[in-house]
Amino acid sequence: MCSTIGGVMANNKDNVELNNDDNQELSHEETRRNFMKKFGKLAVVTPIAVTALMTPQTSYAQKSCSRRPNHPHKPQCPSAQGKNSF
């Protein structure tokens, strides 16, 4: 059975299919076959690989620029005794 995210139809926005109780419940096999039947031709084209969009590894503070390139590690400020660094 397909259910739909969001149930609000609004002007100028994407159509959101409302969950229609009159639709027949589809089994997984039927869902898969319907998908393959509809998009089977797309499988002919060499597909793009699975792409990660949101992961803990790629979620980080949004700085406006990267660090100075090829910046070697250098000693801590001489007056920084007792302070932490990371």
Partner 1 sequence: MAINKIPLNSESLSLYLEGSKGLLFHQPKQSVFQLPPLSVAFLLAIDEGLTEQRAIAEIAQSSELSFQQLRSFYLEVKALFSDDQNDESYFDGRYPELNNALSIASISVKPKAFTCQVANSRFSISSNCEHVKIDLRQLLARCEKKLVEVDFELEVEVSDDQYYLYSNDHLFAEQLKRTEVIPEIIDRLQILAYQRSDYYFCYHGAAIKTEQGILLLPGKSGSGKSTLSAEITAEGNQLFSDEIIALDKSFNLLTLTLPIAIKSGSWEHLSKQYPELDTATIYKRLDGRKLKYVWPEKFAISQSITNNKVLLVNPKFIDSSHDFDANSESKNAKRLSIIDTLAMLSESGYQIGVEMDKEKLDLLINFLLDIHRFEITYQSSEQAKTTLTKLW
Residues forming contacts to partner 1 in the complex (CB under 8 A) are: 1-6, 8, 10, 12-17, 28-29, 31-32, 35-36, 38-44, 46-69, 71, 74, 76-80, 83-86
CB of 76 to partner 1, least distance (A): 6
Question: In terms of CB distance, is 22 or 52 closer to partner 1?
Answer: 52
Q: Which residue has the tokens 């509809």?
A: 38
Shortest CA distance to 34 belongs to which of 47, 50, 23, 20? 23
Question: In terms of CB distance, is 13 or 22 closer to partner 1?
Answer: 13
Whether the Cβ atoms of residue 16 and residue 5 lie closer than 8 Å to each other: yes
Q: Pull the structure tokens for residue 9.
A: 């139809």
